[in-house]
Structure 1
Amino acid sequence: MIIPDLTLKGIAYGTHETKLDLRFLLYKGGAASNIKKVQGKIERGELGAPIAERLPLVINFYDGLIADINMGRARATVENRYLYLRLFFSWCDEQDIFITREKIIDIFYSWTKIKEFEIKVLKTATKRTAYRQAVAIAFLISRAVSININLKKNTKLKPRKTTRNPVSREVDKQNLERTFQFGSLLSDISHALTIDAIYGRLPVVINTKEGKTLTEWAGHPMREDLKAFQPGADKYSTKLLSDKRELRHGNKSHQVRYPLINLRIEAELLIFIAQTGMNVSQAQSLPFGNFSFKTVDDDYLAYRVFKKRRQGEAEFVIFKEYRNHFQSYLDWLKKVFPEGTSRLFPFIAQNAIRRLDDIRPCQAIQLRCKKLNIEFISPARLRRTRINWLLRKSRDLNLTADIAQHTKETLITVYEEPHHQVASLEISRFYNLADPAISPPGPGTCVLLNQAPSSIHNAPNQSPKPDCINPAGCLFCEYHRDIDSLDYLWALASFRYLKRLELDQYRPAKGGQWDSPVVAVIERISAKIEYFRDSSEVRNHWTEEANIRIREGRYHPLFDGTIQLVEILP
């Protein structure tokens, strides 16, 4: 059987990176084998002969993935689809299922039922992972067999419901504290790994602000972990290994010191993402160069300088406080790579050349966080924390979306986290602006908010002026409205009784006139109560009930406390 070349071309590979090849799917057990060792197994005949019946289907899968590459699909998408195909074929090999183009749909449905069993019974799979795999495999199969049907819809695999829980003030404070603790560690690593420390004598000791210590041996095992340095070990072996370690520790080349260099670069990358909000793939792809900075409000715009003359467009925005740190990092890079480097974050791969679009995970920082019992904050969480912090501080959706380089819709649906304090503030603002009935300080209601109070045209000269503070002034305001209820009449009667108590204690100045504004208030209240009493039988009943409550000493809660205080005055 002639097998065509099924290597995925059109994507970049590193010097030590194994190419993605679909020929392995033709062999039983090939999909489950280590991708770096499967070719050797095939050449030694450990996987047997290729299965001819699989070839047409595998070729169709290959054509589809090549089409994805030619269409410009993200490399991660192509790699994930290739991985899911291998997982699917691996399961088929384990179940000894005969794969053909005609049976592939039925096989897919059988696989989804197994996934349902793993989720519900065995608890060995998650809804999110199983659903993601099912969506990808269903699409690949539909495309391979040329059917316009969504196979996933005929399964019971559903996406995991994602609910964003509200963040209380205490939880938000804890999240920020953990983020600040993580940022403090990054700063400590950055300041400790200077040129002298990296190329000096090992180990490098990093002291954190919290009093914890990291001991870095540039990837070498510690002496106490080696058998040659344990009590009772052979002296010759101990001396031989000790000499080798001394010789290696004296080597200051990148081949030996690259773990320390990569650790500093990882810390700088995470600090850069926290400061700029840039995506991790974008940040790792930034080319190295000289930058000039332009002040805009409280920020700096970073421009790339070409040939020390012309500068291009602004590439990113940084806070003023970060500029000196960023400049010191650029100076550090120039000393570490005196011959120059192509990237702003040039991670060193041992004995290999990385591809340009390779995204390196921050595993070194994760390991240090685990040692120090500090929570690792991923680049995605750093960006989310930064966006929510900016949103809560500015309360400006357009500004935050512009800074985060997202649309407002994406910012709300993907990044914004519910927050109790923010929600309370927004609800209060909404009702202050939209509620047509605003509770004034006095009885009744107000129909206009944020308007300057205005006196009624026939207000007596001695009546109090409305100011939205004094309850008596509300009765003479143009925007005051009565409420057709027993409770309102009870409040008016209680307020009138309070004013009568005040009038009993009023003493005009010697020789002065009786010009207390309390009289105008009492007359205004009495006129309103009389109007209600004479307007209908029901309102007359309300008026009688309100007066009875006052005689019984049952006052409206709005004035009850004040009345009791006035009554006990001498």
Structure 2
Amino acid sequence: MLFLRPSLVLQGALEMLNVLDLTLPTLTFPDVSLGMKKTPWDLRPLLFKGGAAAQANRLAGLIDAGALGPPVVERLELVQKIHEELQAKLAGGGSKQTVKTEIGDIRVFFRWADASDHPLNLDAIETTYLCWSDYLLHRVRIVKDINEVSAYRLARTVGAILDKVLERAKPILLRTRLTYPPRRKRVLGLQADKQSLSETFEFGHALLDIVDALTLDAIWGPLPLRIRLRTGQEIEKWSGLIAPEKLRCANPQNRSQRSHAKVSKRKRIDYENDRTLRTRSPLVNLRLEAELLLFIGQTGMNFSQALQLKVRQYSYKSTIDGYEVRDYKHRRQGEVLFEIHSDYKEVFDRYLTWRKSIFPRDTEGLLFPFIRRCGPSEDMPKKFFWQLSALCQKLGLSFIPPSRLRNTRVNWLLRRSRDTDLTSQQAQHSKETLVRIYEEPSLQIAMVEVARFWQSNDPALPSPAPGICDGVPVPIIGINPEAAQPDCIRPTGCLWCEHHRDIDSQDYVWSMASMRHLKILALKGFRAPVEGKTDEPPSLVEMAIERLTAKLRWFRQSNELRRGWVVEALARIDEAVYHPYWHYLIVAVEGD
């Protein structure tokens, strides 16, 4: 039997006493406003082994009841530093939604460390993180329950926080084997490109029709509210009620069902007569959804930024194609909040008037104050635009989410202006982010750019012979010394020019056949003026005939379509139907 020294026993007892009597620090985020039923953000569960795996709404009770056991003291410094970094990000204007996501990812990391018995302290956190990254890679390659992008983003989020906690000069993510897969941009054809814009325009028209239908009189009027679209379609909205024909007791058969139907009918009448935000909030939220998407489509603002905009006293300054919207300040101009097109100004002013009537007391609240059961809050709900999404599905329309709406706007601006600096400024992004993330390949733009490239580097000009050139005579490599030299004057010289280009058309084949016929006539009528020089002039004509014959032979042997062109051209020559370019010369040589 082993006996411990009294000093060691006393030291262990004191350590246990310190753990039990430890006063946990405040690890909440008091500056984050949440709804009445929302659980406040708290990092205290990370101090307990198994705390990261518990439900967030039960953690406070579990900690107070001691169900999680004593806190792990060695984690305290690490968790405090993580809390300081997240709090500093919020204080510096960081997105609350981003911090919320980071807290969730940190909890995933701690949950894995608790399950696999890895230490969580400042000295060992780097090794634990690298082991976790290998675990994520194992899930990607072997288990295959997550994809490579999800694993990379999860490790990147946690790694970025640890870099600040550990004050690292280089990202810890670079020490892992996780990599972001290259983004393959899908190339849209002409039809798909037009279809994408067409769907966006149809969706925009539907949003305007919904906004026009949800007036004050319609919202506070009798139910159902009917929304008529310009396409002739119509939708009934019961503002949270079930349509009468879909009720279970629409046709009661016995006394119990009749009694239930009577009570249900009385409650239904009371609900319809209660014309307040309690009963008409679904209709108000539907218009807010439509107005928010119209606003994002016009301004190009990020969804989370638009959602947190406050109502201001707006002033407008006219620009070339729209207005700069500023926060009005007495005797001085405020900062530019956003820019809108001139056609949207009337829609935006009409919305502000409608909002003021719906929320008369909320004069300095959110610009788009969605009504929530758990009370107003600035954090984004899990299900957004669910009413519009369901309505579009019922109408057979494609629902365009804010990200795709903004992406379509950016690409439309880029294609219209072809100016990355201007487009990146409008989209509030750097030029590198615009090209790497937002720009989508377009077949139509590629065709235009290729045509412009060849027009500037290899311009097509009419040549004396059939075909086109750039007006710069350059002999081909290996030209026969006796062949006609290109000079952009004689048609025969074009046949040996480096810049001469054939044309893939029936008219070009007909013109070559006519030129060859003219050369044959010239060869037949040739008479040498001086003896001893009878070979040189005929050789020039013969080489031209051979060159033209070789071109016609290539067209004839390439495919059936071009073969038909050659057969048709030779038939026309036999019938004395010559190409208009050569007709008068041939007729003059023939003497007709």
When normalised by structure 2's length, the TM-score is 0.73
Deviation at 1:322, TM superposition (A): 2.6
User: 1:467 maps to which residue?
Assistant: none
**1:205 alignment partner, SS class:** strand
Match of 2:34 among 7, 11, 14: 14
- Give the CA RMSD over aligned residues: 4.4
**1:426 alignment partner, SS class:** helix
**1:131 alignment partner, SS class:** helix
Deviation at 1:170, TM superposition (A): 1.0
User: 1:565 maps to which residue?
Assistant: 572
Q: Does residue 364 in structure 1 map to residue 378 in structure 2?
A: no
Q: Does residue 262 in structure 1 map to residue 269 in structure 2?
A: no
Q: Does residue 187 in structure 1 map to residue 208 in structure 2?
A: yes
Contact 2:519 2:545 (8 Å CA) reproduced: no
Distance 1:106 1:147 in 2: 14
Q: Does residue 127 in structure 1 map to residue 148 in structure 2?
A: yes
User: 2:338 maps to which residue?
Assistant: 316
Match of 1:203 among 224, 227, 231: 224
Match of 1:332 among 354, 368, 371: 354
Question: Sequence identity, in percent?
Answer: 32
User: 2:436 maps to which residue?
Assistant: 413
Q: Does residue 287 in structure 1 map to residue 310 in structure 2?
A: yes
Distance 2:551 2:134 in 1: 75
**1:412 alignment partner, SS class:** helix
User: 2:240 maps to which residue?
Assistant: 219
Q: Does residue 245 in structure 1 map to residue 268 in structure 2?
A: yes
Distance 2:247 2:68 in 1: 39
Deviation at 1:13, TM superposition (A): 1.6
Distance 1:433 1:553 in 2: 27
Contact 1:85 1:137 (8 Å CA) reproduced: yes
In structure 2, the CA distance between the partners of 1:28 and 1:230, relative to structure 1 (3 Å rule), is: farther
Deviation at 1:69, TM superposition (A): 3.8
- Where do 1:62-81 residues align within 5 Å? 62-81=83-102
Match of 2:363 among 341, 360, 364: 341
Deviation at 1:156, TM superposition (A): 2.6
Q: Does residue 299 in structure 1 map to residue 322 in structure 2?
A: yes
Deviation at 1:554, TM superposition (A): 6.0
Contact 1:291 1:305 (8 Å CA) reproduced: yes
User: 1:32 maps to which residue?
Assistant: 53
Amino acid of the structure 2 residue aligned with 1:14? L
Match of 2:76 among 48, 55, 58: 55
- Where do 1:392-541 residues align within 5 Å? 392-435=415-458, 440=463, 442=465, 446-448=469-471, 474-475=488-489, 483=497, 497-499=516-518
User: 1:4 maps to which residue?
Assistant: 24
Deviation at 1:254, TM superposition (A): 2.1
**1:384 alignment partner, SS class:** helix
In structure 2, the CA distance between the partners of 1:409 and 1:106, relative to structure 1 (3 Å rule), is: closer
Count of residue correspondences: 517
Deviation at 1:42, TM superposition (A): 2.4
Match of 2:375 among 338, 352, 356: 352
Amino acid of the structure 1 residue aligned with 2:176? T
In structure 2, the CA distance between the partners of 1:442 and 1:294, relative to structure 1 (3 Å rule), is: farther
Distance 2:552 2:367 in 1: 77
Contact 1:294 1:301 (8 Å CA) reproduced: yes
Deviation at 1:375, TM superposition (A): 2.7
Distance 1:325 1:429 in 2: 40
**1:160 alignment partner, SS class:** coil
User: 2:108 maps to which residue?
Assistant: 87
Deviation at 1:420, TM superposition (A): 0.8
Contact 2:519 2:544 (8 Å CA) reproduced: no
Deviation at 1:139, TM superposition (A): 3.4
Contact 1:446 1:481 (8 Å CA) reproduced: no
CA offsets 1:104-147 (integer angstroms, 9 cap, x no match)? 34433333233223223333212111101112223334544565
Distance 2:467 2:337 in 1: 59
User: 2:3 maps to which residue?
Assistant: none
Amino acid of the structure 1 residue aligned with 2:497? I
User: 1:465 maps to which residue?
Assistant: none
Distance 1:316 1:565 in 2: 68
In structure 2, the CA distance between the partners of 1:155 and 1:542, relative to structure 1 (3 Å rule), is: farther
Moved more, 540-549 or 91-100: 540-549
Distance 2:547 2:162 in 1: 81
Contact 1:118 1:124 (8 Å CA) reproduced: yes
Deviation at 1:26, TM superposition (A): 2.0
Distance 2:164 2:553 in 1: 79
Contact 1:533 1:543 (8 Å CA) reproduced: no
Distance 1:302 1:485 in 2: 56
CA offsets 1:366-418 (integer angstroms, 9 cap, x no match)? 34334445332121211111122233234444544444344444433332211
Deviation at 1:62, TM superposition (A): 2.4
Deviation at 1:319, TM superposition (A): 3.0
Gaps of 5+ in 1: 454-471, 505-518, 524-529, 535-539
**1:206 alignment partner, SS class:** strand
Match of 2:412 among 364, 368, 389: 389
Deviation at 1:175, TM superposition (A): 1.2
Amino acid of the structure 2 residue aligned with 1:123? K
In structure 2, the CA distance between the partners of 1:45 and 1:297, relative to structure 1 (3 Å rule), is: same
Distance 2:168 2:109 in 1: 19
Amino acid of the structure 2 residue aligned with 1:420? L
Gaps of 5+ in 2: 1-18, 474-485, 503-508, 528-532, 556-561, 578-592
Deviation at 1:336, TM superposition (A): 1.3
When normalised by structure 1's length, the TM-score is 0.76
Deviation at 1:159, TM superposition (A): 1.0
Distance 1:175 1:493 in 2: 45
In structure 2, the CA distance between the partners of 1:108 and 1:205, relative to structure 1 (3 Å rule), is: same
CA offsets 1:23-73 (integer angstroms, 9 cap, x no match)? 011233322233223212323344333333433332332233334345544
Moved more, 357-366 or 338-347: 357-366
**2:25 alignment partner, SS class:** coil
Contact 1:131 1:159 (8 Å CA) reproduced: yes
CA offsets 1:61-106 (integer angstroms, 9 cap, x no match)? 2233334345544434432221111111222344455644444344
In structure 2, the CA distance between the partners of 1:486 and 1:281, relative to structure 1 (3 Å rule), is: closer
In structure 2, the CA distance between the partners of 1:481 and 1:359, relative to structure 1 (3 Å rule), is: farther
Moved more, 88-97 or 220-229: 220-229
Moved more, 41-50 or 422-431: 41-50
In structure 2, the CA distance between the partners of 1:144 and 1:406, relative to structure 1 (3 Å rule), is: closer
Amino acid of the structure 2 residue aligned with 1:329? Y
Distance 2:501 2:239 in 1: 79
**1:268 alignment partner, SS class:** helix
Distance 2:467 2:242 in 1: 80
Contact 2:464 2:490 (8 Å CA) reproduced: no
Contact 2:90 2:99 (8 Å CA) reproduced: yes
Amino acid of the structure 2 residue aligned with 1:271? L
Distance 2:83 2:550 in 1: 92
